[in-house]
Structure 1
């Protein structure tokens, strides 16, 4: 008999579509008495429903079980983990990790903190089903804000700017990075890359200071190294202060720079640093970088007089100029008229989340680069019917069951 165990990580997942994916899998976890009761009920109420025979399905190859489960939506997977200890231990299986690695990256999720309880109140938002999830464990020992992500991992920095943490928000994989050699207060920009093709999930974290100093953490060596300072004329504006997150294309990180406006790139493999002087659009404020299929995108507020609008640009590789490709619907922008709007943006794989706030509003909006669809994010209500929570900050990450810190 299969012993049932509780689901530890996302206990409030109630994705009703689970039965539509692999109903035969759940049948394997039921006793003969339960099956007979179901058969009796189905025979009277729903005669068209066929009960799966355990004598047949118990011979189903284990490798095919893993192949099927690896393809389930993330939320559904956590429901299936509660069936038995064997399936609950799949995260530690090398063969299951290999199955997951063969599957194309999933749609991004968003990792967010709330104003109500910034220490333990982090949440995960799944845009595909427009649902908030509330994990049951902390990703840091102290108050820490997410500053970078890569390959299913999120890097956070504590409020004292002294400690970095890396975790997988979907599992209990967590690590506090060793101390750095440079005063942490000078840290104003952070980027992260992860080698998804590596069996060990190698990742690197880079921080950049206002005076050009920088350090890179290597998860294999478990240490920081100083590849050398960036050229003195390459500065990351202190005014950004994590509001504009770095983006990565393969092993290259891209940071925003100012005075003059442009982009700084750093290749984590070769250590080569480059700068690009790119004039910013007129009347631009609160702008952030994003990436989609190797293309660099710019998201920002255009403010003129009392009117404000959110616009999307794409960097043209030939001219190194920003070309506007879309903007928020006019009826939405009318809500900003006469208000002092601030915006932060986080994006991954062509899906962006904009955090728009003022004294009168605190709104999250998603934007799909492919479909050019704008959607307002539903309000987040804590489990057990507690009050609505106000999001303080968020970052995009690719949900990955096997990424380890």
Structure 2
């Protein structure tokens, strides 16, 4: 406690009354510094560390913050933030509004979308869209809404059937895989060159094909090429039929060990096998089956921590199981499984799964006529949780069919 000065102390003792010390004896107090007193460079560094959702609000705080949000130095400060928790761009039967789930803040946020187009791939902070009517491709930053149209891809002989689309790398690349196994071709767009490469035929790597590796899960071999999936309507359909529009050209890409900036793209073949295409070596391989060919199951692929995983929902012995499998050393091995008490609710529901991975997280969207929900798995700890419901403006719960993951970055240009 501050002691009074000598003269004031004597007056207090003689009168028996307590008096406030004069202004000259009081300790001078200054108001605490605020954000308005921070240097402009430091302010931009502080704002760059805020959760990405704050980017939409900070511009409305004051004129100074609005100017900082539009400053090139602010974008440089954002680029110095090493990583951000992923957002998951959610897809539903309703085209609007577009929302994303913020995995860090565990909240639902509005997001920009390309009108008239459907997301087909994502990499870093960008999402690739395709117009169903024309096949035109565009790249967009869902956080800022900035977008650009890609040049028209080159055509090979005739009009090849598009099989899968992959997006990877920084600067980003887009790979189109056309044709049918074993006659696959690949065309690659390089954003650093703003041009497409000519289509290249892919050679088969027979040493890891389904004919050379045993089937997993206790099932028979690969003579029967028919595997059955569960459609959105709950009907059991053969794999040579289209699954859903949101996953029609779905693939996942992980870094290739054989070339800088190259990738290995994984997608589902029409026979139900997983196809792996190495963009560095221009080769592909069919991986062995996870379950027997006569099993009824739903399967999807995800990229997580630089590796590819298969997510499988199957029914066996009066229950349902949802498991993650990784292909290594010529065989599939289980790495995670949803707790039985949680997955049993899918039994008999004829549910379909659409999945996406980012970092160490995997999101699983489960949908059918009777059940709809989104679940998140931490692959390292095998911890599962159901995501909170998303309530729209009418007070109704949004039901999502699929998602694409991206890292929310305001500084990324297209």
Report TM bin, short chain.
0.7 to 0.9
Alignment of 1:111-260 (within 5 A): 111-116=89-94, 118=95, 120-135=96-111, 137=112, 139-142=113-116, 144-160=117-133, 162-182=135-155, 186-195=161-170, 202-211=171-180, 212-231=184-203, 242=247, 244-249=250-255, 251-258=262-269
Aligned partners of 1:245 and 1:346 also within 8 Å? no
Deviations 1:41-91 (A, max 9, x none): xxxxxxxxx96446xx54522222222221111123432232234433545
* Aligned equivalents of 1:320, 1:263: Cα separation in 2: 14
Indicate which of 64, 68, 71 corresponds to 2:42: 64
Alignment of 1:3-402 (within 5 A): 52-53=32-33, 58-90=36-68, 92-116=70-94, 118=95, 120-135=96-111, 137=112, 139-142=113-116, 144-160=117-133, 162-182=135-155, 186-195=161-170, 202-211=171-180, 212-231=184-203, 242=247, 244-249=250-255, 251-258=262-269, 261-267=273-279, 270=280, 272-275=282-285, 277-282=287-292, 283=295, 285-304=297-316, 306-316=318-328, 319-383=329-393, 385-402=394-411
Aligned partners of 2:346 and 2:371 also within 8 Å? no
Deviations 1:77-132 (A, max 9, x none): 4322322344335455433333223222211110012223x2x3211111223211
Deviations 1:266-292 (A, max 9, x none): 33xx46434363442444733222233
* Aligned equivalents of 2:33, 2:72: Cα separation in 1: 30
Aligned partners of 1:192 and 1:248 also within 8 Å? no
**Which residue number in structure 2 is paired with residue 5 of structure 1?**
none
CA distance 1:335–1:98, shift in 2 (3 Å): same
Secondary structure of the 1:393 match is: strand
Residue 401 of structure 1 deviates from its aligned partner by: 1.5
Aligned partners of 1:153 and 1:397 also within 8 Å? yes
Length, aligned pairs only: 337
Aligned partners of 1:123 and 1:132 also within 8 Å? yes
Q: Which of structures 1 and 2 has the bigger CA Rg? A: 2
* Aligned equivalents of 1:184, 1:308: Cα separation in 2: 42
* Aligned equivalents of 1:67, 1:123: Cα separation in 2: 27
Deviations 1:165-184 (A, max 9, x none): 21111102111222223388
Superposition TM-score, scaled by structure 1 size: 0.74
Secondary structure of the 2:200 match is: coil
Deviations 1:105-163 (A, max 9, x none): 211110012223x2x3211111223211123x5x2231x22111111101111222511
CA distance 1:277–1:260, shift in 2 (3 Å): farther
Secondary structure of the 1:401 match is: coil
Gaps of 5+ in 2: 1-29, 210-238, 256-260
* Aligned equivalents of 1:209, 1:272: Cα separation in 2: 13
Aligned partners of 1:189 and 1:246 also within 8 Å? no
* Aligned equivalents of 1:369, 1:51: Cα separation in 2: 49
Gaps of 5+ in 1: 1-49, 196-201
CA distance 1:150–1:91, shift in 2 (3 Å): farther
Residue 330 of structure 1 deviates from its aligned partner by: 1.0
* Aligned equivalents of 2:281, 2:325: Cα separation in 1: 28
* Aligned equivalents of 1:151, 1:290: Cα separation in 2: 15
> Once superposed, what is the RMSD of the aligned Cα atoms?
2.9
Secondary structure of the 1:99 match is: helix
Residue 386 of structure 1 deviates from its aligned partner by: 4.4
Superposition TM-score, scaled by structure 2 size: 0.72
CA distance 1:286–1:53, shift in 2 (3 Å): same
CA distance 1:273–1:98, shift in 2 (3 Å): farther
Deviations 1:312-371 (A, max 9, x none): 12332xx23221122111111221222211111111111111111111112111111133
Deviations 1:176-231 (A, max 9, x none): 22222338882231111131xxxxxx221111123313322222333322241223
* Aligned equivalents of 1:217, 1:252: Cα separation in 2: 13
Larger mean Cα displacement after TM superposition, 221-230 or 169-178? 221-230
Aligned partners of 2:204 and 2:284 also within 8 Å? no
Aligned partners of 2:185 and 2:199 also within 8 Å? no
